[in-house]
Amino acid sequence: MPVRGRGPIQSSPKPKTPFKVSRTESFAKDFKSLPKEIQQRAERAILLLTQDPLYPSLRTKKMKGTTDIWEASVSMSYRISYQLVGDKIILRRIGTHDILRSEARS
């Protein structure tokens, strides 16, 4: 579908192939302990991650003190930590900043 902007009409970029998702046991345990509303928001955030890990509302950034662990926002208080390995996103932890602080040390 053509996209109008400044200059000539351009084609939309082709959709990216979604990333596959795997969850660590720690992530699964963390997820189960979250309030239902946060679980629902997390599912939406994970879907966005699979489509585009740099989607603006995720506020994705590399975790300090790590070389390959990233974090993304679920809400202003909750975050997901993950690793990108090839075409897979490995969900490591989910929770408040306190959980992610311990993630950066491990």
Record the pTM.
Answer: 0.77
**Domain tally for the chain?**
1
For residues 28-64, one letter each, b for 16 or more C-beta atoms within 10 angstroms of the residue's C-beta and e for the rest, the string is eebbeebeeebeebbeebbebbbeebeeeebebeebe
Instruction: Fill in the amino acid letter for 38.
Output: I
The pLDDT of residue 67 is: 86
- Domain span including residue 33: 17-105
The pLDDT of residue 73 is: 95
The pLDDT of residue 100 is: 66
Is position 62 within any domain? yes
CA distance readout (Å), 84 to 19, 77, 79, 91, 98: 9, 23, 16, 9, 22
Report how far residue 104's alpha carbon sits from residue 106's, in angstroms, rounded to the nearest whole number. Answer: 6
Assign residue 35 the CATH number of its domain. Answer: 3.30.2310.20
User: Which of 74, 89, 71, 87 lies closest to 23, judged by CA?
Assistant: 89
Report how far residue 67's alpha carbon sits from residue 74's, in angstroms, rounded to the nearest whole number. Answer: 22
pLDDT tens per residue across all 106 residues of the chain? 444 444 444 444 444 668 899 999 999 999 999 999 999 999 999 999 999 988 999 999 998 888 899 999 999 999 999 999 988 999 999 999 776 666 656 5
User: What is residue 83's three-state secondary structure?
Assistant: strand
Is position 61 within any domain? yes
Is position 3 within any domain? no
The pLDDT of residue 66 is: 86
Is position 44 within any domain? yes
The bridge status of strand 61-62 relative to strand 20-23 is unpaired
